[in-house]
Amino acid sequence: MRIRCPICGDRDLREFTYKGDAVALNRPGPEAAAQAWDDYLHLRRNPAGATRELWYHGGGCGAWIVVTRDTVTHEILGAVLAEEAEA
Amino acid sequence: MADLIARSPCMGLLPLEQGGVSVTELDPGPMTLVAPYKGQAAALSKAMKVAHGVGFPAANTTETGKGVEAAWFGRDQALLIGAVPDAALADHAALSDQGDAWAVVRVAGEGAEDVLARLIPVDLRDSAFPPGRSIRTQIGHMAGAVTRLPDGAVRLMVFRSMAGTLVHDLDRAMTHCAARGTG
């Protein structure tokens, strides 16, 4: 499996570390209701298809990136810097 | 007072030579990590150009000047090699002294790419990795930096504490390539 880092280009999987669903970018505001925080911490979708995930390019440039991956085929559909990704 | 003896990171480990590939240690001189403050990248590049003759390098490249080099060293980071940074740089960037912190070696010879292909998961052939390219990647299990030097050789950098592992990994890869007759 290879991931196209927006900075480094096409790189091998071993350079990356998986964090989890990109929902981590949608942190609720400090005044949000308890239910919103509960959802943020614990609720994840489990799609058969495209999913957005956070990966860390620790073996390369050190950027956090949002990778769109198909969970059925493991095809990498795209990768953007987390800084520039839509939450 | 005791007479202290400076030890280079690979002292006693290098040089190596096998199958036409040689590994020697490089003394890079002063090295400083240059990390621009937010929004200061352009101003920093200008200040570097004025003071040292090299600008802030684009991602995955290195800029070489007279006795000084600015190698890209990760996201929003560059390594200034061969010169003590001018004080003006501190207005635009965080500077940290990295001299003595890295083991720096030079891998040269026909078949050097075959040896490195066993350790580094990036295409390092001439066509994909010409002089002026400088990347961050993994060397074996170590985080490192790989640069194509102007003379065609490849420069590897890993943390100084990993010098022994780097030489061991290179030695094994060279032995295996030589045994296959590809080195």
Q: What is the mean pLDDT of residues A9-28?
A: 92
pTM of the predicted protein model: 0.90
* Stretch (H or E) spanning B165: helix B163-180
Q: What is the pLDDT of residues B28-50, one digit of tens each?
A: 999 999 999 999 999 999 999 99
| Lowest-confidence region among A19-28, A65-74, B64-73, B149-158 | A19-28
CA A84 to chain centre: 12
pLDDT tens digit sequence for B55-95: 999 999 999 999 999 999 999 999 999 999 999 999 999 99
- Are the Cβ atoms of A7 and B137 closer than 8 angstroms? no
Q: Which two tokens stand for residue A83?
A: 């800084």
The mean predicted confidence, pLDDT, of chain A is 93
* CB contact at 8 A, B115 and B125: no
Give the domains, in start order, of chain A with CATH numbers.
2-81 (3.30.2270.10)
Which residues of chain B are within 8 Å of residue A8 when distances are taken between CB atoms? Answer: 59-60, 135-137
What is the chain B residue with the closest CA to A12?
B121
Tokens representing residue A41 in the block: 């911490």
The helix or strand, by DSSP H or E, that contains position A70, with its residue range, turns out to be strand A64-70
> Quick check: ipTM above 0.95?
no
Tokens at residue A55, please? 């990966």
Cβ neighbour number for residue A61 with a 10 Å cutoff: 25
pLDDT tens, residue by residue, B138-165: 999 999 999 999 999 999 999 999 999 9
Question: Under an 8 A CB cutoff, do B122 and A7 touch?
Answer: no
CA distance B62 to B132: 5
Instruction: Say whether residue B74 is in contact with chain A using an 8 A CB cutoff.
Output: yes
pLDDT of residue B26: 96
Residue B183 predicted with pLDDT over 50 = no
Token pair for B129 = 């990795």
Mean pLDDT of B96-113: 94
Range list of H helices, B53-162: 112-117
Q: Which pLDDT does position A6 carry in this prediction?
A: 95
SS3 B146: strand
Instruction: Say whether residue B163 is in contact with chain A using an 8 A CB cutoff.
Output: no
| Single-letter code of the amino acid located at A7 | I
Whether pLDDT at A80 is above 60? yes
Burial per residue of A23-50, b for 16 or more beta-carbon CB atoms within 10 angstroms, e otherwise:
beeeeeeeeeeeeeeeeeeeeeeeeeee
Mean pLDDT across A62-66: 96
Q: A87 falls in which pLDDT band (50, 70, 90)?
A: low
Question: Contacts for A38-46 with beta carbons within 8 Å, 24 or more apart?
Answer: A44/A20, A45/A21
Confidence of residue A1 (pLDDT cuts 50, 70, 90): confident
* pLDDT surpasses 60 at B182: no
**In this structure, what are the phi and psi dihedrals at residue A33, rounded to the nearest 5 degrees?**
-70, 160
pLDDT-above-90 percentage for chain B: 92
Indicate the SS3 state at residue B163.
helix
Angstrom CA distances, B90 to B52, B78, B170, stand at: 14, 14, 37
* Average pLDDT of span B115-134: 95
- CATH fold, domain B16-27+100-180, is Gyrase A; domain 2 (3.30.1360)
Q: What pLDDT score was predicted for residue A39? A: 92
Is the CB of A11 less than 8 angstroms away from the CB of B59? no
Give residue limits of the domains in chain B.
16-27+100-180, 31-97
